[in-house]
A and B are shown apart, each in its own frame.
Chain A
Amino acid sequence: MLFGYIGKILRIDLSSGSIVTQSLDPALARGYLGGMGLGSRILYDELDPGTDALSPDNILVFASGPLNGTFTPASSRIDVSFKSITGMFGTANSGGFWGPELRYAGFDALVIKGKASSPAYIWIDDGKVEIRRAGHLWGKDTFETTDAIKYELSPSRPDRVRVAAIGVPGEKLVSFASLTMDYYHSASKCGIGAVMGSKNLKAIALRGTHRVPVAHPEKFEKVVRELLQTTFGLEAGGPSAVDTDLHLDAGELPGKNFQVDTVPHWANLCSDAEKRIAEKVRQACHACDRPCFGARVKEGPHAGLLAADLHSSAIRGWGATCYVDNLPDVYRLHDACERIGLDYQTSQTLIGFAMELYQRGMISKATTGGLALEWGDTEVILELMRRIAYRQGFGDILAEGSLAVAKRIGKGVESFAMQIGGLSMGPHEPRLAVGTTTFDRAFFLGYLTSPRGGDNVKTTHLAARYLVPAKVRGGDWEVGLDSWLNEFVECIDVPEDFKRRIYGNPPRLNRQGYEGKAAAMVFFENMTTVYNALGLCIMRRVGPTMSARLLSELTGNEMTGDELLKVGHRIFALMWAWNGREGVTQKDLDFPTRFYVDPIPSGPNKGTVLSREATNTAIAEWYELRGWDPEVGLPSRRTLEALGLKDVADDLCTRGVLKGSAKASVSHLEEGTR
């Protein structure tokens, strides 16, 4: 028995209608865990380079992690790998209940390729698999689709069927169409909805009664109990207006598409405003002890409106990037994205871009189909989103993403498109190192190493307030910073050598500087990758030691935190190797020039620009720590071999992506290469 796994992978070819169940190779489970690890390995092995993302040949790998379906806190995440519509490694991830249910339905992973001859959805009921007609669902939004499927399959207990569905944007191949899971959760990046739509696949529904075998139940329970002791508590969860207060204090707002960092209407969007207009309601994902949404509007024209899964980035994106000046409208826009089936972050960044072009007179009503793209006009934004979804007029242009818009318009407007590697940035201000109390340079540098481009969610996002141990959490660090910091650094679950590299010895906080940041990037990249492979949420911040203990007791295979981080590096390197084979390297990722050239015009950080020289120095150090090749912009042959990826190194050498011949053997394997 393969402890920690159901032991099966389901493969569906929508073109031929073939449905095949395959055993999960234990070596694959051990070396890549699951989730992003399993997904990247399958994609590397099975997807031909140069495949069009929207062709039937693209592969969608829905992969659970070994902790999904156990009672480990925050173990709800499902990871999806595919070729991104941008051409890079496509990865999207969602919480909720869908991921664990995939295992209950009988499979660790679901691999989909091909294209159905007409609209279809997949129904997996406790091991039985069916491809069903979805003609009656085509054209419906994600909520309508989810309702219809749940009541069609399980009228008495609709809540026990889990549904992942695309909306109209997915059907119409909009480049940032998302996949909504059970209404309020979504895997939304890299055009996942469009890839689904290109396969005529409207939805995937699941239900089941399978269980996950546990190698050492007593010890596993003990670790889970320990983990629950470290809970952040219910109050720690969002809605996230509290976080937005911090961003205001720090002058870290992407106002008007990153033109201004202070936003006069921010008082309407802070936690006080939230308390005034909304009541707190709580919904947790599967097995989570830190429910992070939501809020519900108390009164007025939008009474009852639920702000579900609303993180501070949603408030900053609509409130600052697009300049919407009140919370109910922010909630409406967030809700609209989930319902319509559009990635909210890309929507914000793209519409902010269009609004800046309108402000500068680079586009006019003649281009926009009569819409005045004035900052903060919610009705105009909603109408734009509708036109994007249905690909009408200007919406049809926006549907292709900011780079396509820039190409269409010309006039050098590309510099106003806030994207990296073709994927929209999040609403974070990279010119600053001093964001909230614990943001630092490492946070932003992770934008430049993300295997999907765009943002730092797959790399350094959790660098903010990472692993604050319960012991010092909530401590008054303003009063006794030195002692707080010493205790913090002593307590956090980070390997000793990395602690010294990141924080120095004795430890000190140096958020603005670049010193130690490359080491922080390496650690967070590996750790985040591990989370995405285990099925853990990045917001719960379980350290490597604890993660390794959970995995060891679950699977019966002893693993240390260091070994687990090495698996993280293996998967991270594999994703970049995949990118390399597609002709994209880390060197292709850079911030838009605005951040290097335009000083922040106002607020506490007035005058700040991003230093290109310091950024380059940090990235050079990152290459050295990683053992990657800065000339090529990819993992080196030697590092790939040390990570157990010799076959990948050979493949890249044969193709001329890496230097050296496929047969060359390396005599000195660098053990412990991270």
Chain B
Amino acid sequence: MTRLVLTLDSEKCVGCLLCELACTFRHKREGGTSGTRIRIRAEEKSLLRTAEFCQHCESPACVELCPMGAIAQDQETGQVGIDTDKCTGCGLCLDCPKGGLVIDPDSGLAANCDLCGGNPACVEFCPSGALHS
């Protein structure tokens, strides 16, 4: 099974947030970073950069955390997905140790990286080659 996940090379990341902007644009068709499913933390003075996004883990904690049974992993692709019909937006899944889930500001429901159907916008628009899938 080949699992598609994102990886961030912190050494290469320049902290421009184009990944967040591209993610928001892909999902919301608007400018901004609100609703992004990849979140960069850029320490301004040390220039240390880390990212939070769904890793589509082998044993996803979120699946266990969700009381509604709304989060499931595709056995074939390994991709973790959210059934928005079942999700109530309770936020318990935000305890994911990787910080992989967000509450979508528009729907109020959980959301995670959906890998843009195989061609992630964040990777395409990253100017430094720091993001890979």
- A and B pair up: yes
* A contact set with B: CB distance below 8 Å: 69-71, 73, 97, 100, 103-104, 157, 159, 182-184, 208-214, 217, 221, 224, 228, 231, 234, 281-291, 306
> By the criterion CB–CB under 8 Å, are B17 and A234 in contact?
no
Instruction: Pick from B16, B24, B127: contact of A211, CB below 8 A.
Output: B24
* B contact set with A: CB distance below 8 Å: 14-18, 21-22, 24-25, 28-35, 41-45, 47, 105, 125, 127-128
Can you identify 16 A-B contacts, CB atoms within 8 angstroms? A70-B31, A71-B25, A73-B18, A73-B127, A104-B34, A210-B32, A210-B34, A211-B28, A211-B31, A214-B30, A221-B25, A228-B125, A228-B127, A286-B17, A288-B127, A289-B16
Q: Which residues in B have their C-beta under 8 angstroms from that of A159?
A: 41-44
The smallest C-beta distance from A473 to any residue of chain B, in angstroms, reads 16
* Bound complex: CA A73 to CA B21 (Å): 11
> By the criterion CB–CB under 8 Å, are B44 and A71 in contact?
no
Q: Which residues in A have their C-beta under 8 angstroms from that of B25?
A: 70-71, 214, 217, 221
* Bound complex: CA A288 to CA B14 (Å): 9
Q: Which residues in B have their C-beta under 8 angstroms from that of A211?
A: 24, 28, 30-32, 34-35
The smallest C-beta distance from B67 to any residue of chain A, in angstroms, reads 25
> By the criterion CB–CB under 8 Å, are B17 and A287 in contact?
yes
> By the criterion CB–CB under 8 Å, are A291 and B16 in contact?
yes
Main secondary structure of the interface of B (DSSP, over half): loop
The smallest C-beta distance from A228 to any residue of chain B, in angstroms, reads 7
Q: Which residues in B have their C-beta under 8 angstroms from that of A208?
A: 34
> By the criterion CB–CB under 8 Å, are B18 and A182 in contact?
no
Give me the 6 closest cross-chain CB pairs, A-B, nearest first.
Answer: A212-B31, A289-B127, A211-B32, A70-B31, A284-B16, A71-B21
Residue of A with least CB distance to B23:
A71
Q: Which residues in B have their C-beta under 8 angstroms from that of A69?
A: 31-32
Contacts A282-B128, A283-B47 given: A289-B18 contact, CB under 8 Å? yes
* Bound complex: CA A157 to CA B43 (Å): 10
Q: Which residues in A have their C-beta under 8 angstroms from that of B17?
A: 97, 286-287
* Bound complex: CA A212 to CA B30 (Å): 6
9 further interface pairs, Cβ-Cβ under 8 Å (given A70-B21, A71-B22, A234-B127): A184-B44, A212-B30, A212-B31, A214-B31, A217-B30, A234-B14, A281-B47, A284-B15, A284-B16
> By the criterion CB–CB under 8 Å, are B34 and A157 in contact?
no
* Bound complex: CA A289 to CA B18 (Å): 8
* Bound complex: CA A371 to CA B49 (Å): 43
Contacts A70-B21, A73-B127 given: A213-B41 contact, CB under 8 Å? no
* Bound complex: CA A289 to CA B127 (Å): 5
The smallest C-beta distance from B62 to any residue of chain A, in angstroms, reads 21
> By the criterion CB–CB under 8 Å, are B30 and A287 in contact?
no
The smallest C-beta distance from A493 to any residue of chain B, in angstroms, reads 21
* Bound complex: CA A141 to CA B104 (Å): 38
Contacts A286-B16, A291-B14 given: A234-B30 contact, CB under 8 Å? no
Q: Which residues in A have their C-beta under 8 angstroms from that of B32?
A: 69, 100, 103-104, 209-212
